[in-house]
Amino acid sequence: MKNTLVILGFVFTLFSFLPLIRTPLWWIRVLDFPRLHVAILLSITTIAYVSIYGVEGTAGIAMISLWVLGVLNEVRYIYHFTPMAKVEALRTKQATPQNAFTLMISNVRMVNKKYDKFLQLVLKEDPDMLVMNEPDDAWHEYVRQELDKRYPYTIKKPLPNTYGMLFWSKLKLHESEIRFLVEDGIPSFHTVVEFPSGKKFDFFTVHPQPPRLMKNTETREAELLLVAKQSKKTKYPSVVAGDLNDVAWSKTTKLFKEISGMIDPRVGRGFYNTYNAYIPLFRYPLDHVFYSPEFRLVSLRRLDKFGSDHFPIAITLNYEPQHEEEQEHPVADHEDRHEANELIQEGLEKGEERNREKQEDKKPAQ
């Protein structure tokens, strides 16, 4: 029993500190996700060991101290997404918001066939804009029969590779484009959205590859940081939404916020975990909405599951540029910009490599 606790303690401590290494290796980056789980498991291990065996000698004190540091290291990341932390995104004070919109984002899971259940949820929520990640042609054919009647503006790219994307809007869209920023077959959208009042904002959608077996994260980092830089340079305030395949507390997400100057409505409010809808004990915030400080939060909600492995999320924002200075937001320094440029370059090179491999695979055998 003692040896088991010692092994578990050091394994969980290793899980805590390994993500501090700046590397795109998938088996390290996946450890960004379960920080709450590691903190809980390491705390239980520490308490069990001390309760049963006590702390004896210099080696024992050093071991327990290291385990406690491992717990604290995890807590310092997830603390900001608890109600104990100061909120980052301020709520609107307008009783009747004048330039408000509701956005719903949902990874529908391509193999999920519960089209009608999803459609009923959309009709019930009736958002002004809807982003769907992972739709293929079957999904598109089913939902378009109803949604095309309700949403006059759309950007569509259904795909059979789990990276399809559909965007529906009641608000007028301008300069809409489908882009492949890093990898062929992984699209992102950009458009300019116009309120009925004539005010405009830039809207970006993303769905990069996650860390997974033998797939490192260079391209994910590059895509997110490219969008961060682009959103910062536009002449209008920006909103970025989608399944980022990254948790809210990761180094990449933090760098994304610093480069873009955007804020996260989760900070100080909660995790709003969207994945995995099937497994309550293992859930993480993977579906995100970030926005410029010209917007104020009206509401943020996680919606009911409908058959996908992701929960949908809905956010209502109000455009209030007159209060921009009242809302603190991240700011990038020289070191942040240098790191972002390095990660973008690494990701673009990896993306080109993967694109070449795909082209080679498509060539007929000689």
Chain segment 44-90, per-residue pLDDT in tens: 999 999 999 998 889 999 999 999 999 999 999 999 999 999 999 99
Mean pLDDT of 238-258: 96
Q: Which of 238, 226, 187, 234 is nearest to 208 (CA)?
A: 187
User: Do the Cβ atoms of 276 and 62 come closer than 8 Å?
Assistant: no
- Which 3 state secondary structure label does DSSP give 36? helix
Q: Which of 119, 348, 306 is nearest to 222 (CA)?
A: 348
* Residue 241 pLDDT > 70: yes
User: Do the Cβ atoms of 270 and 78 come closer than 8 Å?
Assistant: no
Q: CA–CA separation, 265 vs 270, rounded Å?
A: 9
Query: What is the Cα gyration radius of the chain?
Result: 22
User: Do the Cβ atoms of 209 and 183 come closer than 8 Å?
Assistant: yes
Which backbone phi and psi does 135 adopt, to 5 degrees?
-75, 140
Report the predicted TM-score, pTM, of the whole model to 2 decimal places: 0.94
Query: Could you tell me the pLDDT band of residue 155, with boundaries at 50, 70 and 90?
Result: very high
Query: Could you tell me the pLDDT band of residue 365, with boundaries at 50, 70 and 90?
Result: low
Q: CA–CA separation, 133 vs 160, rounded Å?
A: 12
User: Do the Cβ atoms of 272 and 297 come closer than 8 Å?
Assistant: no
- Which 3 state secondary structure label does DSSP give 280? coil
363 vs 98, residue with greater confidence: 98
Chain segment 99-116, per-residue pLDDT in tens: 999 999 999 999 999 999
Chain segment 163-215, per-residue pLDDT in tens: 999 999 999 999 999 999 999 999 999 999 999 999 999 999 999 999 988 88
Place of tokens 């970025």: 240
Q: CA–CA separation, 337 vs 98, rounded Å?
A: 36
State residue 196's pLDDT score. 95
Which backbone phi and psi does 216 adopt, to 5 degrees?
-80, 180
Lateral strand order in the sheet of 200-206: 172-179, 188-194, 200-206, 238-243, 287-291
> Cα 172 from chain centroid?
26
100-326 belongs to which CATH class? alpha beta
* Residue 284 pLDDT > 80: yes
State residue 197's pLDDT score. 93
Q: What is the DSSP letter of 242?
A: E
Mean pLDDT of 283-295: 97
- Which 3 state secondary structure label does DSSP give 212? strand
State residue 364's pLDDT score. 64
Lateral strand order in the sheet of 100-107: 153-157, 165-169, 129-133, 100-107, 313-319, 295-302
- Which 3 state secondary structure label does DSSP give 8? helix
